[in-house]
Amino acid sequence: MIGPEAVRLSVLPAVSSVGLATLPAGSANGLVLKGAKSLVDAGAGESGPEEVVPAPWTDASVVTRTADFLRAAGHAPIVMKRELDGFVMNRLQGALLEEAFRLVASGHASVEDVDIGIREGLALRWSFMGPFETIDLNAPGGVRDYVERYESIYQRLHAQMQSRADWSGPVLDTIESERRKRLPAEKLQDRQDWRDRRLMALMAHKRRMAGELPQ
C-alpha cells in the first residue's frame, strides 16, 4: 500500500492524459504529498492506463509502489523510465493522427476510409496486443525476423512522412464536413454516450477473456 508520502496525483477529475502530459512531473499541476523524493505523476487517460512518470529526483521505490498499487486496483499502468513531453500514449496517438491528417490533406484517402483502416483493421488487434507484440507474431521467427523482412518498406515510407499537414488549415474543413455528414452536431452527445458504453463493454469482455470476471 502506498503511504500518503508516496505519490502526486492530478487534482483534476476525469481529465484526459493530454492535461497531464503537457506538463512535466516537476510542475504544479497536481498535489505534492510530503517529500521531493516521493514525487511522481500518475496521470489517467479517458479510458486507457495510467502513465506513471517519475521526476528526475523520484526514488525508484516510489515508482514501484505506485505501479503496484495501481495494478492491485485492477489497472494496467505504463511506467516510464523518465519524463518526456507527451508521455507514451499522446506521442503514439500523435504519430497516428499526423499520418491520418496527412492522408486526407494530400487527397489519398477520405476521412471515413482512414477511420475504417483503424476501426476494422489495426484496432482489432491493438485492442488486445501492442505494436511490438503484433510484429513479434507477424513473422515466423518473431520480431527480429519481422524487422529483417519489412524494415526497408517502412524506411521508404518514413521518407514520405517528413512533411506535416496543418491541422487547422484547409484539411480541417474537409474533415469536419465529412464528419458532420456522417454525424450531425446535435447527435455528438448521443454518439459520445454510445462510445462510452462500447468502451465499458470492451473492457468487460477483455476481463472475461482474461479470466478476471465470471463467464
Domain presence at residue 204 = no
CATH number of the domain within which 151 lies: 1.10.1040.10
At 207 the pLDDT is 85
More confident residue, 188 or 48: 188
Give me the half-sphere count of Cα atoms (radius 13 Å) on the Cβ side of residue 178.
14
Q: Do 121 and 155 fall within a single domain?
A: yes
**23-32, 145-154, 203-212: the lowest-pLDDT one:** 23-32
Ranges 1-5, 125-129, 134-138, most confident: 134-138
What is the residue type of 28? A
* Count of domains observed in the chain: 2
CB 64 within 8 A of CB 34: no
pLDDT at 214: 58
For 61-113, the pLDDT digits (tens) are 999 999 999 999 988 999 999 999 999 999 999 999 999 999 999 999 999 99
User: Domain residues for 135?
Assistant: 91-182
Residues ≥6 apart with Cβ < 8 Å to 100:
114
Sign of the C-alpha dihedral computed for residues 102, 107, 110 and 111 taken in this order: positive
pLDDT of residue 212: 65
pLDDT in tens, 28-57: 333 232 333 555 555 554 556 899 999 888
206 has pLDDT over 80:
yes
Residues 72 and 114 in one domain: no
Say if pTM beats, i.e. exceeds, 0.85. no
Q: Is residue 85 part of a domain?
A: no
The CA-CA-CA angle for residues 86, 130, 47, to 5°, reads 60
Q: Is the pLDDT of residue 24 over 70?
A: no
pLDDT of 170 > 60? The answer is yes
Report the C-alpha dihedral over residues 32, 33, 38, 43, rounded to 10 degrees: -50
40 located within any domain? yes
Query: Above pLDDT 90, what percent of the chain?
Result: 67
Sign of CA dihedral 167, 171, 175, 177: positive
pLDDT of residue 19: 37
pLDDT at 215: 53
